[in-house]
Structure 1
Amino acid sequence: VGVLGFTILVWDHAITFADEVEIIWGRPKNLLTCLFLLNRYLTPVGFVVSLVGRCEHFVRYEGAMTAVGIQVVGLMMFLRVRAMYRDSRYVVIVVASLLFVWVAIGAWLLSHSMAVPHSPFIHSCRLEFSDSVGGLASAWAWVPLCYDTVVFALTLNRTLPLIQNQEAGHIVHTLFTDGALFYSVMCAINLVFTIMVARAPQGLKYIAGHPTCADYEFPAVLSSTTFLYKVAMMSRITLNLKKEGARSSVP
């Protein structure tokens, strides 16, 4: 699964690089484009180094890089909600509060993380949360799922009536279709991850949600399934919206 996720990420990057150069690099930068570039390049660059020999310290770096990458996607989603709900300050405040809670819970869980113990014959480095956090460990998966659900519901609330009344333009259709695809994929992955955290034995709980570092030929990023899919899909959604925006601005 990890190899599949990494392959999708690299393949998507290769086939959309020309669009990236034209739409992102060739135009004035703003906060969203800066977040796009951070989201796009943090994954391959952040996990280049794999320090299995210092696993006890390095594993927290891996977890933090995963959290930052996923939460950058969350911030990009918040900016879209803010753009759609400029007339509703309450909605923007609620989504911003959810994002803050997500970041705070992720930071707290990482402060209670440790390396999974292995025998001397297994050269691997993987993160899990200590027993002291109890059932809150599953919040690593279900809090992002709740956030994605709220954002998707708000997107439907804005786009679906326009589509049903045949008043939607290209951008609205793109918001709807890309949002539905993003949510369906991430919902499935996060549901599986939540069940694994709740039911799987120690050592296997977080294998689908954290990078696994082993001194074999693959980089540490391979097992971060949630991270990989989220990065690839958000990059594609951003480029699609930028392309539709440029298309709509042409007289």
Structure 2
Amino acid sequence: MDAQIQALFLHLLQSIQSIRFSAIGSATVLFYDHLITFDDEIEFIWRKDWSILKGVFIFHRYLGLTCLIIGLCGVFWIQWEMWGYSTVVVTAELVLLLWIFVIYNRNRVILLVLAVSFMAQLISVVAILAQSFSQIKISANLLPGLEFCFLINEPQFFYWYWLPILVYNTIILGLFVYKGRHAFLRSKNAHVNLLNDVYRKSFINFFAIFIAYLLCCVLWLTGDFSLGQIPIGFALSFSITNSTRLLINIRHAYYAREEVDIQPTRLIYANQAPAEEWLFELRNLRI
């Protein structure tokens, strides 16, 4: 029995170490990205007029940064962690929804699909968290001399938390890949204008967020819950960094419209709408 207890304690200590290292790693990714993009943030966000995009950018970036800092300090509880992280994730989903809406030429059918999917995801996540927190039991003193929050029981639906988020992002990624299939089949030697460059970078942003959510979902459903906590910080970091980079890239394209020769493109719209229309739509959306 003593050997089993020692093995359990050793496993818990190793889990704590892995979680702490992953938290430091994810925070490092976020801080580094913040540092290297801060000049663009000043140029394309703070020095520009207030808009929907500016408000979303500031809220998303600095709420996420606050969540990670609090997590590193250890002054948090699981309810704060899950609700705070969920708010950041939902904000990222709104950014992706807006971008898909723009590249589909403000198609109302697409908007309806995205809105219904987004609300279904939001309701599912809130229901899972509310149900789980009514049953959850946590101990911060499970190991003598070490304060760390441990999940004592396992709420019935808690591990399904990432599933609706993953389903929604699968829809988002599928819509984006469908619209951008021509861009990815182009020759490497083909001329790539500013908008096409934003389009290609957007795919990297979408795909990185999708992979982070996929990893969280797989580990929460099939793995040890202690291991499932490891990718959460990275999912949050990727959500923040990729969404804010997408917003900066969009702003860069918008404000650089008078500095580049923008040619008509088939990569944004199926109906061969010119790039000027794309910029006009961003203007109408008050981006």
Q: TM-score, normalised by structure 2?
A: 0.70
Match of 1:81 among 76, 100, 104: 100
Distance in 2 (alpha carbons) for counterparts of 1:69 and 1:127: 23
**Aligned sequence identity (%):** 15
Say which is worse superposed, 25-34 or 150-159, in terms of deviation. Answer: 150-159
Distance in 1 (alpha carbons) for counterparts of 2:63 and 2:252: 23
SS in 2 for 1:132: coil
1:178 equivalent in structure 2: 201
Match of 1:30 among 51, 57, 61: 51
C-alpha change, 1:9 and 1:115, in structure 2 (3 Å) is farther
1:73-130 Cα deviation digits (max 9, x unpaired): 0011111122223452111111111111111111112211335445142311266984
C-alpha deviation, 1:228, in angstroms: 1.3
Distance in 1 (alpha carbons) for counterparts of 2:254 and 2:152: 42
Structure 2, gaps ≥5 residues long: 1-21, 261-287
C-alpha change, 1:68 and 1:87, in structure 2 (3 Å) is closer
Q: Is 2:266 the counterpart of 1:244?
A: no
Distance in 1 (alpha carbons) for counterparts of 2:64 and 2:34: 12
C-alpha change, 1:183 and 1:128, in structure 2 (3 Å) is farther
2:181 equivalent in structure 1: 160
Structure 1, gaps ≥5 residues long: 211-223
Alpha-carbon RMSD: 2.8
Match of 2:168 among 144, 147, 152: 147
Q: Which amino acid aligns with 1:199?
A: T
Q: Is 2:221 the counterpart of 1:192?
A: no
C-alpha deviation, 1:143, in angstroms: 2.0
SS in 2 for 1:119: coil
Check the 8 A contact 2:213/2:235 in 1, yes or no.
Answer: yes
2:6 equivalent in structure 1: none
Check the 8 A contact 1:59/1:127 in 2, yes or no.
Answer: no
Q: Stretches of 4+ moved more than 6 A in 1?
A: 50-53, 165-168
Distance in 2 (alpha carbons) for counterparts of 1:237 and 1:148: 16
C-alpha deviation, 1:183, in angstroms: 3.2
1:229 equivalent in structure 2: 238
Say which is worse superposed, 74-83 or 241-250, in terms of deviation. Answer: 241-250
Q: Which amino acid aligns with 2:57?
A: F
Distance in 1 (alpha carbons) for counterparts of 2:117 and 2:253: 29
Distance in 1 (alpha carbons) for counterparts of 2:68 and 2:83: 11
Match of 1:90 among 96, 105, 109: 109
C-alpha deviation, 1:250, in angstroms: 2.4
Distance in 2 (alpha carbons) for counterparts of 1:162 and 1:52: 45
Distance in 2 (alpha carbons) for counterparts of 1:169 and 1:129: 54
Q: Whose Rg is larger?
A: 2
Check the 8 A contact 1:115/1:125 in 2, yes or no.
Answer: no
Distance in 2 (alpha carbons) for counterparts of 1:20 and 1:28: 13
1:5 equivalent in structure 2: 26
C-alpha change, 1:82 and 1:123, in structure 2 (3 Å) is same
Distance in 1 (alpha carbons) for counterparts of 2:32 and 2:155: 38
Q: TM-score, normalised by structure 1?
A: 0.79
Distance in 2 (alpha carbons) for counterparts of 1:127 and 1:230: 25
Say which is worse superposed, 119-128 or 192-201, in terms of deviation. Answer: 119-128
Distance in 2 (alpha carbons) for counterparts of 1:144 and 1:84: 22
C-alpha change, 1:67 and 1:110, in structure 2 (3 Å) is same
Would you say how many aligned residue pairs link Structure 1 and Structure 2?
230
Match of 2:229 among 207, 222, 228: 207
